[in-house]
Amino acid sequence: MNQRLTDALAGGAAGLAGGLFGGGGGMVLLPILSYQGHLEGRQVYATCIGVIFPACVISAVVYLLRGGVALSEAAPYLAGGLVGGWLGARLYGHIPLGVLRWLAAGVLLYGGVRYLL
């Protein structure tokens, strides 16, 4: 299969996961980008963010237009998310790649277990 088509399908799967579950596109995209090996370690994480951000914006707009977003409930999370995103991006280059991988795996595992309980 054409590599561009494969990449577009991977991005589509990530966007679909984000749209269906309200997040999680990175869980789909991160292993795909890691497996393909086109990118170096840190570029995988940064590329995930670059792909997921516009997909999240589109999903959020659709949810907002359909009345599925309670802005009063979302505002504190948005404020904290902006601060956390800025802080994470600032710390990103200072955390060893191996630690970053374990942190990402731990967050995914924790989220998956919490979701099931």
- 27-36 pLDDT, tens digit per residue, is 788 888 888 7
- The answer to whether the pTM exceeds 0.95 is no
> Which of 67, 64, 29 is closest to 48 using CA atoms?
29
Total length of the chain: 117
- 70-108 pLDDT, tens digit per residue, is 888 888 988 998 999 899 889 988 999 889 889 888 988
String of b and e for 99-113 (b: at least 16 CB within 10 Å)?
ebbeebeeeeeeeee
* DSSP designation for 22: S
